């Protein structure tokens, strides 16, 4: 059966401009960190991707490290992009990253020019594309000069293999320095992707202010704290849906204690009084700040995706609701 996208796909999904650039993103983006790879059936993954597009989620966020194995998520996305979504390629924003641990050997991770440009070439081959829309350095590398790393991002754009450059996980100070290097090279920093949730508020410690000053967008990663803010009665949730994976749900040094569960339950109560799920309220909370361009959600099935997307129908939180949330919007 030939796929035809839903005609109403742009009717309900809000969009925000990415910083002061001309690029607009949906307020919810689909991340392929979990639920995509060889350990899951292709048809289920295909169904999530196409349903996301039908719902107006036109930004797909992936990395050369996503799987298992590493790169498998890009292969899945590539199959869908080159088949069902080929007629809609100009509507889709594809973000990929390099610099994480993507292949064996000393060049498989880091911030060197070789690592980033080789990683991008591998990603393009798996995606079946001649360019991605946004190319990120996945995480800071203190062992590589910043000028070399930013020079590689600039080269990717100048070679036509990416339209925009971004970074992930950089501190406010390093973000400002990186943006300065890119600006001098002639390739502005489009976006910074960073963890941001009720239980991880490090982005508020200067990063959002820096991005606003630079005119760069912010994409919130893990807005549901790796699942901690998604499931009712998490301690009895299926093992595959518990917080964890390749990144912790809380900032470094913090653990999931009984007081964290108490906050989860308190936040559930606030959400129920709003007539929303905890996940929907958590997404609305992250998006309450207009400096946040988009929040990346993951989905292992269509039902989970649809529940999260329903959050866009109730993004407005009243002052009273924010005040009720605030005492519990922290880890410990």
Q: pLDDT tens digit string along 250-293?
A: 777 677 888 889 999 999 999 999 999 999 999 999 999 999 99
Residue appearing with tokens 């991770």: 109
Question: Above 80 in pLDDT, residue 23?
Answer: yes
Question: Is residue 220 one of the residues assigned to a domain?
Answer: yes
| pLDDT cut 70: percent of the chain above it | 92
Name the band, by pLDDT with cuts 50, 70 and 90, for residue 108.
confident
Residue 176 lies in a domain: yes
Report the pLDDT value the prediction gives residue 306, as an integer from 0 to 100.
97
What confidence score (pLDDT) does residue 1 get? 79
**Mean pLDDT for the stretch of residues 105-112:** 84
Asked whether residue 11 is domain-assigned, the answer is no
pLDDT at 241 over 50: no
Rounded Cα–Cα distance for residues 111 and 169 (Å): 13
Confidence bin at 178 (pLDDT 50/70/90): very high
Residue 245: per-residue pLDDT: 46
* Phi then psi dihedrals of residue 107, to 5 deg: -95, 5
Q: What CATH number is associated with residue 66?
A: 3.20.20.100
Grade residue 226 by pLDDT with cuts at 50, 70 and 90: confident
pLDDT at 249: 67
Question: Is residue 263 one of the residues assigned to a domain?
Answer: no
143-167: per-residue pLDDT in tens?
Answer: 999 999 999 999 999 999 999 999 9
Cα-Cα end-to-end distance for the chain: 51
Q: How far is CA 185 from CA 21, 137, 182, 290, in A?
A: 17, 16, 5, 29
Residue 188 has pLDDT above 90, yes or no: yes
16 Cβ contact partners less than 8 Å away, ≥ 6 residues apart: 24, 25, 27, 217, 290, 292, 293, 294
> Does 326 fall in a domain?
no
Higher pLDDT among residues 108 and 53, named by residue: 53
Q: Which residue has the higher pLDDT, 243 or 257?
A: 257
If 0-12 CB within 10 Å is exposed, 13-18 middle and 19+ buried, where does residue 151 land? middle
Query: Hey, what are 172's tokens?
Result: 């406010």
Residue 260 lies in a domain: no
pLDDT for res 248: 60
Q: CA 259, CA 54: separation in Å to the nearest integer?
A: 39
Total domain count for the chain?
1
Is residue 106 predicted with pLDDT exceeding 70? yes
* Average of per-residue pLDDT values in the chain: 92
pLDDT at 205: 97
Residue 208 within any structural domain of the chain: yes
- Residue 96's domain comprises 18-228+289-301
Check pLDDT > 60 for residue 247. no
* 222 assigned to some structural domain: yes
Report, as an integer, the average pLDDT of 76-82.
Answer: 98
Q: How far is it, in rounded angstroms, from Cα 95 to Cα 165?
A: 10
- What pLDDT does residue 242 have? 44
HSE-CB at 150 with a 13 A cutoff on CA atoms is 21
The mean pLDDT value for 17-46 works out to 95
């Amino acid at each position: 059966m030939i796929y035809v996208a839903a005609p109403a796909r742009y009717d309900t999904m809000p969009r925000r401009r990415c910083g002061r650039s001309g690029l607009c993103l949906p307020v919810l983006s689909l991340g392929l960190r979990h639920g995509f790879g060889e350990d899951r059936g292709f048809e289920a993954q295909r169904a999530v991707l196409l349903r996301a597009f039908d719902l107006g989620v036109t930004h797909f966020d992936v990395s050369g490290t996503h799987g298992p194995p590493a790169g498998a998520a890009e292969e899945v996305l590539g199959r869908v992009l080159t088949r069902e979504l080929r007629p809609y390629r100009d509507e889709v924003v594809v973000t990929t990253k390099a610099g994480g641990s993507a292949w064996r050997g000393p060049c498989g991770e880091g911030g060197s020019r070789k690592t980033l440009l080789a990683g991008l070439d591998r990603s393009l081959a798996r995606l079946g594309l001649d360019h991605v829309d946004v190319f990120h350095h996945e995480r800071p590398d203190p062992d590589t000069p910043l000028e070399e790393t930013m020079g590689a991002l600039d080269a990717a754009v100048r070679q036509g293999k990416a339209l925009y450059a971004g970074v992930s996980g950089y501190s406010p100070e390093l973000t400002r320095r990186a943006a300065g290097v890119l600006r001098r090279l002639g390739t502005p920093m489009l976006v910074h992707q960073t963890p941001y949730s009720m239980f991880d508020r490090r982005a508020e410690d200067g990063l959002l202010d820096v991005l606003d000053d630079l005119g760069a967008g912010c994409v919130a990663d893990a807005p549901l704290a790796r699942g901690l803010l998604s499931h009712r009665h998490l301690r009895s949730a299926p093992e595959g849906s518990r917080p964890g994976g390749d990144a912790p749900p809380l900032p470094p040094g913090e653990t999931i204690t009984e007081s964290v569960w108490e906050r989860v339950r308190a936040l559930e109560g606030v959400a129920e009084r709003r007539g929303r799920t905890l996940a929907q309220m958590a997404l609305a909370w992250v998006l309450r700040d207009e400096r946040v361009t988009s929040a990346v959600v993951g989905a292992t099935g269509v039902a989970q995706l649809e529940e999260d997307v329903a959050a866009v129908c109730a993004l407005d939180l009243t002052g009273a609701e924010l005040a009720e949330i605030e005492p519990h919007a922290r880890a410990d």
